[in-house]
């Protein structure tokens, strides 16, 4: 079963400031709370399409993700989870930013995940991902409220 999880929020900061955090594919430890370290494999640049980031979380899990797209004009970053994360398969995420034009200091952020799973696993996986994405939104909000 193909599943799409889409969440969104508003960050009280100009799009270029928020994009500065998101576009750094190696920068998760700088804004996502449970990520303790990250590195780009083979010493490649963190904005090179195809580069692979390996990062460790506080819970001991290590993940590897491949950068599929980074669009500076549309403020889009898309990546693929390399190792299967059972019970999800073919997990691809996109983060996109849009400026909110009513004023000039806020940004709309959308985090979208597509993956395959068994139908009975979908509700729990959806709920877990929505929580993961909300933690990221909340962390960004906190960073830009200082």
pLDDT in tens, 97-114: 999 988 768 999 999 999
Render pLDDT for 4-16 as a digit per residue (tens, 0 to 9): 999 999 999 999 9
Instruction: Look at residue 37 and tell me whether its pLDDT is greater than 90.
Output: yes
Q: What mean pLDDT do residues 40-53 have?
A: 97
Identify the pLDDT of residue 98: 97
Percent of the chain past pLDDT 90, that is, above it, reads 92
Q: How far apart are the first and last CA of the chain?
A: 42
Given this model, what pLDDT does residue 30 score? 96
- Residue 135's pLDDT band (boundaries 50, 70, 90)? very high
Q: Domain ranges for the chain, please list them.
A: 2-145
Residue 146 has a pLDDT of 78
Biggest distance spanned by C-alpha atoms of the chain: 44
Q: Is the pLDDT of residue 18 over 80?
A: yes
Mean pLDDT of the chain: 95
The matching CATH number, chosen from 3.30.530.20, 1.10.645.10, 3.40.50.450, 1.25.40.10, for 2-145 is 3.30.530.20
Residue 84 reports pLDDT greater than 80: no
Determine the Cα–Cα distance for residues 145 and 137; give it in Å rounded to an integer: 12
**Cα 92–Cα 52–Cα 140 angle in degrees, nearest 5:** 65
Query: For residues 97 and 140, what is the distance between their CA atoms, to the nearest angstrom?
Result: 13
For the chain, the three-class secondary structure string (H helix, E strand, C coil) is CEEEEEEEEEECCCHHHHHHHHCCCCCHHHCCCCEEEEEEHHHCCCCCCCCEEEEEECCCCEEEEEEEEEECCCCEEEEEECCCECCEEEEEEEEEEEECCCCCCCEEEEEEEEEECCHHHHHHHHHHHHHHHHHHHHHHHHHHHC
pLDDT at 32: 98
How high is the pLDDT of residue 102?
84
């Amino acid at each position: 079963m193909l599943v799409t999880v889409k969440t969104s929020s508003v960050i009280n900061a100009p799009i270029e400031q928020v994009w500065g955090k998101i576009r750094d594919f190696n920068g998760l430890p700088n804004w996502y709370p449970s990520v303790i370290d990250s590195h780009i494999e083979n010493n490649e640049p963190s904005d090179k399409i195809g580069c692979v980031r390996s990062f460790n979380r506080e819970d001991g899990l290590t993940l590897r993700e491949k950068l599929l797209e980074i669009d500076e004009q549309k403020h889009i970053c898309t990546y693929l989870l390399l190792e299967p994360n059972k019970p999800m398969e073919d997990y691809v995420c996109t983060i996109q930013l849009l400026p909110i034009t009513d004023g000039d200091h806020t940004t709309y952020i959308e985090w979208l995940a597509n993956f395959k799973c068994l139908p009975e696993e979908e509700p729990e996986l959806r709920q877990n991902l929505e929580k993961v994405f909300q933690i990221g939104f909340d962390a960004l909000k906190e960073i830009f409220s200082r």
